[in-house]
Chains A and B, each alone.
Chain A
Amino acid sequence: MFNRFARFIQALIVLSAFVGSLGPLQARSPSQQGGLPQKEPPTHQVLPLDPLTPAERKFAEQIAREDSKVRELLGNRPQLISIALLFLKPEGEQVAVPTKPVAIDRHAEVLFRREDEAGVRAVVNLSKRSLVAAERITSMEVPLTPEDISQAAKLALEDAELRKALGDEVKGYSAAAESPGARTKQFAITGLRLFSKGEDDPCTRHRCVQLMFRRGRDYLADTTVWVDLTERHVSVERGKNETH
């Protein structure tokens, strides 16, 4: 009888410790903190450094887009570029080595591209459902996306000079990022953001990409392809192989 009672008490203590440990956790889904009911984010308990869920990403974008300051910065037809988890310090610190859950709000950085190629960086607090900061950023600070490479690849593959350079293999090429596992494809197009040398170069202001054409482990080397995505212009330069 005593053993049963002791086991019961033990279970109660452990259970209450477990439940208690979850109590002060700040990094919980916004739906658990009251406020806006629409577009419910996930309801499970999350830790501050858990990866953002699809629902949280959607929620981060929503907070940013609904903020008047962000809307003003975005202008017309902004494009969502990326959403990333930010691990920001809470205001003040109680103890250097916390042994119990610490209230750390979950934050996300949301990047947009404006119609004029400049960008907007919005930082949102998912736990408090609020905007922390919003600023306009230069075109250079707006990263390319896999969609940019896909778009550049499609434009380039329509270019007669490039089609001539690729010969019959042109049919096999597509952007590496277009489908899962595409990196293992025999023919794939990848690319890098190109920045200009000087003010007279259009790529100072435009979104320019240098494309690379990979066949197996090898890269097309005697043909250089640049795509100005802002102007939708393709430049192909065929030459000799560079000498050592």
Chain B
Amino acid sequence: MKRTRLLASIAMLSGLLAVPRCAPGQTPPPWMPCSGINLVDQKFPVNGPEETHWRFCMEAAPKNGLMIHWAFFRKSLNAPWLRLFWDARVSDIFVPYHSGSPRYYDMSSFTFPMTPIGGADCPATVGGTPLGGNVCKEVRDRGLAWKDDANVRRGQELVLWGALDAANYNYVIEWTFRDDGVVLGRVGATAVNLPGVPYETHMHNPIWRLDIDLNGFPADSVSFGTHSETGATANDSDPVISQEGPRDWNPHAFNSLDVSDATLVNGHGHKSYYQLIPLPTGGLSRHQESFTQHDFWVTTYNGLELWAAQLPNYVNPPQNAANADIVVWYKGSIHHHPRDEDGEYIGHYWHGEALVMWTGFMLKPHDLFDRTPLNP
């Protein structure tokens, strides 16, 4: 009898792990192709009844660092889960120096390991939990989300980050999943300036590859959001990008890549989409290499096309990109003009600290919710 109970308990426990349970009326959570520390599941708010929920896989690997796979979002407790990413990663980090050489490809030209992360990088006092020795998970207050006089709502977020040990540099790769459905991607360059030329200005250009699958792989489209003004009036247009190819970001036009699905609408019947919005720090670079001549690229899915430097080839000849399985790419830039704060020579050696400089983007939902869940 005891053995039967034990067997039943083990079976019950195994069943719970394999088939997630949900409350009556809720859509069951998506099955996940990962487990253990690689499976990230976070509801918001952290305490109290659920308003929104993220569930995805992370992978920490040499060369590409911290990647996100199979990411789902639930916009309310009883809403269906929505897939956002099949795969999100930094494809490469291109680093040209002002004198014309060197010109490094800091991801594709080396299999850099990830740095160790411990309690000093990822303290529990700020919501940090080291995962597997190379990744930090922080679940934290993100400041003011809304205010109307005395009515206030603060937001929360889950931040995952890890760093590549790229010789003298460390590259911090960070992914933020917010309670309002926003995703932020950032890369930070830090550690020590290039020995030999520690005062030479240079760029760090991370290029992100975002395989967005709203509501599943097929039938996604990308529109090019553009703001324009004529006299006192302004207009916003959002034409569909019909073929693979590049686009340029104009800060005066507030350009964005808007990714939608053919059938995904909110409760008002409005088309739901995610906007890829650059968050540049100072500017966006252009270099002689053709893949750096544009800020955005749209390609159709090919799981073997992972290298940013090949983008001009990936879109030649251009394939139809409307109502397709699409991938969007974005290049950010960090212009590092060394300063005295970066360090000094001590004898034959350079002693210094290049503090973190960031660049990144935002993926923001538009007409995904019927109304924001973040109300007091």
Contacts and interface: CB of A to CB of B under 8 A. Distances in A.
A243 B199 contact: yes
Given A15-B15, A82-B111, A244-B340, A220 B195 contact: yes
Contacts of B192: 217, 219
A143 B31 contact: no
Interface of B: prevailing SS: loop
A93 B216 contact: yes
B109 to A, nearest CB: 4
Nearest to A100: B31
Contacts of A140: 105, 109, 309
Contacts of A85: 59, 61
A86 B303 contact: yes
Closest 4 A/B residue pairs (Cβ)? A96-B216, A11-B8, A219-B195, A221-B350
B129 to A, nearest CB: 20
Contacts of B81: 97
Interface string B291-304: 00000000001011
A212 B4 CA distance: 64
B307 interface: yes
B167 A191 contact: yes
Contact of B101 (A101, A123, A146, A197): A197
A3 to B, nearest CB: 11
Contacts of B108: 141, 143
A5 B350 CA distance: 76
Nearest to B303: A88
B30 interface: yes
B196 interface: yes
A55 interface: no
Given A48-B33, A133-B304, A221-B195, A97 B8 contact: no
B168 A93 contact: no
Interface stretch (B120-128, B148-156, B222-230, B341-349): B341-349
A204 B315 CA distance: 26
Interface of A: 4, 7-8, 10-11, 14-15, 17-18, 21-22, 27, 47-51, 81-82, 84-89, 93, 95-102, 104, 107, 123, 133, 140-141, 143-146, 165, 177, 183, 190-197, 210, 212-215, 217-224, 241-244
9 contacts: A7-B8, A10-B8, A14-B14, A87-B59, A140-B105, A143-B109, A197-B101, A218-B351, A220-B195
A81 B33 CA distance: 27
A21 B8 contact: no
B258 interface: no
Contacts of B301: 89
B87 A146 contact: no
